[in-house]
Amino acid sequence: MMLFPTSTATRTVTSLNGIWNFDLQQPGRENNPQTKLSTDKVMAVPASFNDQTVDEDIREHSGYVWYEREFEIPAILTDQRLTLHFGSATHEAWVYVNGDLIGHHKGGFTPFDLPINDVVEAGTNRVSVKLSNLLDQTTLPVGNYSETKDENGNIVHHVDENFDFFNYAGLHRNVELVATPWTYINDIIINPDVNLDEEIADVNIAVSVSDDYDEIKIKIKDEDGQTVGEASDADSVISLSNVHLWQPLGAYLYDAEITIIKDGNTVDTYTEPFGIRTVEAKDGQFLINGKPFYFKGFGKHEDTYVNGKGINEAYNVLDLNLLKQMGANSFRTSHYPYSEEMMRLCDREGIVVIDETPAVGLMPAFNFDISGAMASADKKNPFWHDIDTQEAHKQVIEEMISRDKNHACVVIWSIANEPATFLDGSYEYFAPMFELARKLDPQKRPCTFVNIMLSTAGKDRCTDLVDILALNRYYGWYINTGDLKTAAKDQEAELRAWQELYPDKPIMFTEFGADTVAGMHSAYNEPFSEEYQVNYYKMNAEVFDKIDNFVGEQLWNFADFQTKFGIQRVQGNKKGIFTRSREPKAAAIWLSQRWNSIPNFNYKK
Ligand code: GCB
């Protein structure tokens, strides 16, 4: 319950991004935020801390770190309500201002706001953040946590990622000082109810305000700034005619302008952009605005050189330009909610998004060898009875939906990536999670989880919970390696089995891919060569085109990305169709030809 921070006629947002002081917390030494952090190290914010130095101890650090800076508060703002906004702090943060603890947040991919009026003065103030990057069996993502002792008997923390990306950490997104009036708009919920035939919509708008007020004005403006609807109740339905729909790659955004009036004066005003569109999964199709949509696109990561998982808006813009040039229309926020800035950009650009929680690693000991894992998948395993992530899982569902509920770009909630849904206990774990997501989403978007290759048709215990089947499959890579003929046969058989078992559920691939070293070539179709990656995608495309209910292909991955160390990874995961610096591999050229010839709508039927 928190609006995206923007300055308005009544609000002032001041960036605290820039160079902060930084230090690792050494084993056995707790820093005292009452005194200034004594360090000569600095870090840029927002960004991961890992790749900003040439110090291996910093890059590989597991445990606690400290960030600190001074900031100025103009005297004219001190009569207002002041908060510090963190776009994210990965993974757990304790925030101190002038030495006083003002709040704590756990979960590395969602924002939080902390009130600070009681502890600040006009002029210079100091903010200190103690950050933990520890992960274990209670957190999302899930980590394998262990401890050893150093030569002085102090505890040393270790985290082994139970997932395939590097555990980047830091103040990853914008940090801002937000000044609002004391009577302020808390939240805005927008839920358009569209009649597609008549091109009219009833836009339900619910505004919550922190305090009493005399009057509220809601205006809906179109892209030309013309007022097309008005209301004067915090809970209103505003009817619009000649509705401009938000379409994939044809975005149209209205503005909901909210003004709160008290004693004849405007006390707060805020504008929330929104799009009008419908989404529905039914009869083996995925409908956007009533028409069968075909997903073309990627699983991505927030992952760039130096910034790590820190927000990188130039890369966001470039990535969406590359995506559009490819003829793609969509991506998944694998494997955590991306920055709010990216969601707003996708709203504007008409990019269709599957929004995913950080629930990744919900399976017994992750390693890179899926074929090995397949061999042991049937063994009795108490995993779901032992795991302790329920609380964190509910929290991330709440925080993700609360933040992203109004975004037109979001068409599906992904509750988890590759959980062990082939094991006993998974249905009992997931049923309440799906129930919660469906209850919280005002727009009642379709929900899914992303299914792992071990959990084939008939074996999976949670498919009844999903509106659309989202499968990650690696025929021709982790199994049938180098044998695309057998891969095609096995893949087709599996897809037909799913279609037969669940004829009403549309099916899509949310991952398929092959590691490829840019510049490596082979006349013999060798795995890791650019030729193999092209042929792998050709094989997949032929199978997809045979399956009626197959409604989308999101490959793995948009770009090469950094991972933890492992003997199957050489400087990270190389399944990108672009390199980490976004140069195309041969597959990008082939796929762009395929995707540019596939329409967004009515491809299958
Ligand atoms: C998966 C995971 C993804 C990995 C990918 C791979 O199934 O969802 O996080 O990076 O496979 O390349 O192995």
Ligand 1 and 164: CB distance under 6 A: yes
Confidence tier at 1 by pLDDT (50, 70, 90)? low
Helix (H, G, I), strand (E, B) or coil at 68: strand
**Residue 407 CA, distance from chain mean position:** 13
Residue labelled with tokens 């509220």: 216
Ligand 1 and 511: CB distance under 6 A: yes
Could you tell me the sign of the dihedral formed by the alpha carbons of 55, 60, 66, 72, in that order?
positive
Residue labelled with tokens 């994939």: 248
Task: Tell me what pLDDT residue 377 has.
Answer: 61
The answer, yes or no, to whether the previous bond of 335 is cis (omega within 30 of 0) is yes
Ligand 1 and 161: CB distance under 6 A: no
Task: Tell me what pLDDT residue 10 has.
Answer: 98
- Gap from CA of 226 to ligand 1 centroid (Å): 47
Per the residue annotation, which of 176, 399, 511, 530 is the catalytic one? 511
Distances from the Cα of 358 to the Cα of 109, 110, 366, 418, angstroms:
7, 10, 16, 11
Q: pLDDT tens digit string along 407-453?
A: 999 999 999 999 999 999 999 999 999 999 999 999 999 999 999 99
Residues 240-259, mean pLDDT to the nearest whole number = 98
Residue labelled with tokens 């991306």: 338
Residue 481 bridge partners (DSSP): none
The answer, yes or no, to whether the previous bond of 46 is cis (omega within 30 of 0) is yes
Q: pLDDT tens digit string along 446-486?
A: 999 999 999 999 999 999 999 999 999 999 999 999 999 99
Q: Which of 165, 450, 556 to mutate to test the pocket of ligand 1 (most atoms within 8 A of CB)?
A: 556
Closest C-alpha to ligand 1, atom 2? 164
The answer, yes or no, to whether the previous bond of 480 is cis (omega within 30 of 0) is no
The answer, yes or no, to whether the previous bond of 5 is cis (omega within 30 of 0) is no
pLDDT at 46 over 80: yes
Task: Tell me what pLDDT residue 26 has.
Answer: 85
Q: pLDDT tens digit string along 132-159?
A: 999 999 999 999 999 999 999 999 999 9
Short-list 89, 123, 120, 125, CA closest to 107: 89
Residue 195 bridge partners (DSSP): 200
H helix or E strand, kind and range, residue 400 = helix 390-404
Ligand 1 and 554: CB distance under 6 A: no
Ligand 1 and 573: CB distance under 6 A: yes
Nearest-angstrom CA–CA distance, 35 and 38: 8
Nearest-angstrom CA–CA distance, 561 and 304: 8
pLDDT at 530 over 90: yes
Q: How many helices (H) and strands (E) does the chain have?
A: 10, 30
Q: Model pTM greater than 0.95? A: yes
Domains and CATH numbers, the chain: 12-180 (2.60.120.260), 185-274 (2.60.40.10), 279-597 (3.20.20.80)
Q: In this structure, what DSSP letter does residue 378 have?
A: T
Closest C-alpha to ligand 1, atom 9? 164
Q: Which of 162, 164, 303 to mutate to test the pocket of ligand 1 (most atoms within 8 A of CB)?
A: 164
Closest C-alpha to ligand 1, atom 10? 164
Q: In this structure, what DSSP letter does residue 234 have?
A: S
Short-list 171, 137, 195, 160, CA closest to 22: 171
Q: In this structure, what DSSP letter does residue 579 have?
A: -
- Gap from CA of 249 to ligand 1 centroid (Å): 27
**Is 511 known to be catalytic?**
yes
Ligand 1 and 502: CB distance under 6 A: no
Residues 486-499, mean pLDDT to the nearest whole number = 98
